[in-house]
Structure formats: structure tokens, C-alpha cells
Amino acid sequence: MNILYYMIRRILQAIPLLLGIIIINFIIIHSVPGDPVLVIVGDFGTSPEYMEMMREKLGLNKPLYMQLFIYLKTILQGDLGYSFVWKEPVLKIILQFLPNTLLLMGASLFVAILLGIPMGVLASRKPYSIADNSITTLCLIGYSIPVFWLGIIGIIIFSVKLKWFPAQGMETVASGYEGFKYIWDVVQHSIMPVFVLSLAQLAFIARLTRASMLEVMGLDFIKTAWSKGLGEKRVIMQHGLRNAMMPIVTIIGLRVGYMFGGAILTETVFSWPGLGRLMLRSLTTRDYPLTMGLFIVITVLVIIVNFLTDLTYAILDPRVRYINEV
């Protein structure tokens, strides 16, 4: 089975998964207590006739199964609906905030991989040594610290007290920066959110890398490599880490879904204009179309990342393609 057929098969498998998630999310969101019409018009003694007119206008007076059918029909047409609160197409709103979240998550994942894998390799070289125990302790602490607490402490120390980094936002309001000044301004605003969001992922990747390296370094082919007189760097990096990367790649793909949950807290604490804050606002205002649209976009992103993970698996180890074929 060639790689193209493998890719097509994985894409076809993702279609019913996406459909099932859309249906489940639709039912859950519409089962949440609260009236979106009341949130929209406000609690000012509005007449029941006007409330009913708004429900009919928004399609909320129809049975749930009919609302679901209509929604699936619009989704197939590439339309995610119209926001109750923003009064704009949902897709347009999401596309405004999506690049900011991708920037935050991409930078956080890059930092987690860049630091986590070397830390895990270093810890595995001499198990239970001072370096191993120190890295393990730091990883346990980093993984255990709540995201919102770390963000608040970071703002108090580095923004309020030391004044090293901006406390909130993605850029300086009304600064008019352009070119390199604008890029540097965004970098300064993103340092603390990236660190907070990446810390737990970094700790998890480091711990997994250590465990995977310890398992691989005890196998027979590693002993053979040592017996051939190969250098330590070549044995560890070319033979050990390369074969230990399979579970690490899997976890990196799975952690993307967890990062969206952390992004909601991180973006809220740092007022980062991304999908996380938009999700929180849509939930508090009962904006069903926007909430559903956000769930669909996030689901698609997670499916794409998992697809790329499977593809990386198949490239690293061609046996995976034949296992799936059987």
C-alpha cells in the first residue's frame, strides 16, 4: 500500500468522526440551561410576543431534530451560521481570531518540543543521577502547576513588579508600530503566554522522552551499536532517539487537543485575542452558532494534527502502513 492510498484512507475515516462530533456537540450545547434570546434582548421586561418573534427569527422555536437537520444542511454548504451576538457570519469571526491562537499554540508547542526532548534525553543518559532527579522534579512541578495560577503569578512578578513584559493583550494598543517594531511588540506580549501554555507540555514530553529512551537503550541493537565502537552521540541520537520517537510523536499529536483547553485559560488570563477567549464569550452569551462553529473548527484542527501524526508514523516506520492494511 503506497503512502497516497494510506492518506486517502485516513481522510475517509475522519469524515464520520467529524460528523459524529458535530451531532454530539450540537445536542450538548442545546441542552445547556439558559435562553439565548433572553441574553440577546436583555432582561428589561420585554413582551412575550417579541421574545417569541426573536425565537422564530433565530430558528429556536423548531424541534431540536429539525434544528440539527437544518444545521447539518448549512454545514455541508460551507456555512457555519450567523452569530446571535456579533451579528456577523461565524466563519468570518473565527477567521479573525484563528491566526492569534495558532501563533500562541504553535510557539508553545515549538518551545515544548525544543526543550522537552533534549531534557528527556539528558535525563535518560544517567538514570537517577543528579541531572535526572533534577529534571524529573522540575517536570513534576511544571506539570502540576495550574495554568491560570501560573499566569497570574507571572503577571504579578514580571509585569507589575519587574515591568519586564506587558501584562495583557497581543500588541500595544494604538501604538502604530510597523515592520520589525510590530513583530518585536508581539514577541514581548507573547513571551509569558507561550511560557505558561508550554510548561505542562514541555514537562510531559520530557518525561515521556526519558521513559522511551530508557526502554530503547536497553535493547539488543543498542548493545550491538556499542560493541561496534560507535561514539556516544551517534548511538544516542541516531540509534536511540530515532527509535524512541514513535511514542513521542503520538503524544505530541494528542497533546494538541489538551492545549486548546489550556489556551482558553491562558488567553483569558492574558487577554489574548484568540479562539479561547472567543469560546468563553460565546458560552456565556449562549451564542449557539458561534459556539458550534468554534467546536467544529477546533475539531477539524485536532483531526488534521492527528492525521499528520499518523502520516509521520507511516513515514518513520513503513510497517505501520502494512499493519493498517491488514
Segment 273-303, tens digit of pLDDT: 888 888 888 887 778 788 888 888 888 888 8
Global pTM? 0.76
pLDDT class for 35, splitting at 50, 70, 90?
low
Q: Has residue 54 got a pLDDT over 80?
A: no
When pLDDT is averaged across residues 16-22 and rounded to a whole number, the result is 84
Q: What angle do CA 158, 161, 164 make, to 5 degrees?
A: 40
Cα torsion 112, 104, 288, 57 to 10°: value is -160
Give me the residue spans of the domains in the chain. 1-85+285-326, 94-247+262-272
When pLDDT is averaged across residues 8-37 and rounded to a whole number, the result is 77
Q: Has residue 323 got a pLDDT over 50?
A: no
Q: Has residue 12 got a pLDDT over 60?
A: yes
Specify the pLDDT at position 326. 44
Q: What's CA 272's distance to the chain center, in Å?
A: 15
Lowest mean pLDDT among 35-49, 101-115, 118-132, 134-148: 35-49
Helices (H) and strands (E) in the chain, counts: 14, 0
Rounded CA gap, 27 and 33, in Å? Answer: 12
Pick from 257, 250, 247: nearest CA to 300:
257
Average per-residue pLDDT in the chain? 79
More confident residue, 56 or 132: 132
Q: Looking at the chain, how many residues does it have?
A: 326
Specify the pLDDT at position 5. 72
When pLDDT is averaged across residues 116-139 and rounded to a whole number, the result is 87
When pLDDT is averaged across residues 120-126 and rounded to a whole number, the result is 86
Tell me the three cell numbers of residue 80.
457555519
Rounded CA gap, 193 and 212, in Å? Answer: 29
Specify the pLDDT at position 269. 86
- CB-based contact 221:205 (threshold 8 Å): no
Rounded CA gap, 300 and 55, in Å? Answer: 30
Specify the pLDDT at position 47. 63
Q: Which residues contact 186 (CB under 8 A, 6 or more apart)?
A: 170, 171
pLDDT class for 37, splitting at 50, 70, 90?
low
Which of 91-100, 243-252, 293-302 holds the top average pLDDT?
A: 91-100
Lowest mean pLDDT among 42-46, 73-77, 214-218, 225-229: 42-46
Q: What is the pLDDT of residues 56-79, one digit of tens each?
A: 666 666 777 777 887 788 787 777
CATH fold for the domain made of 94-247+262-272: MetI-like fold (1.10.3720)
Rounded CA gap, 9 and 142, in Å? Answer: 38
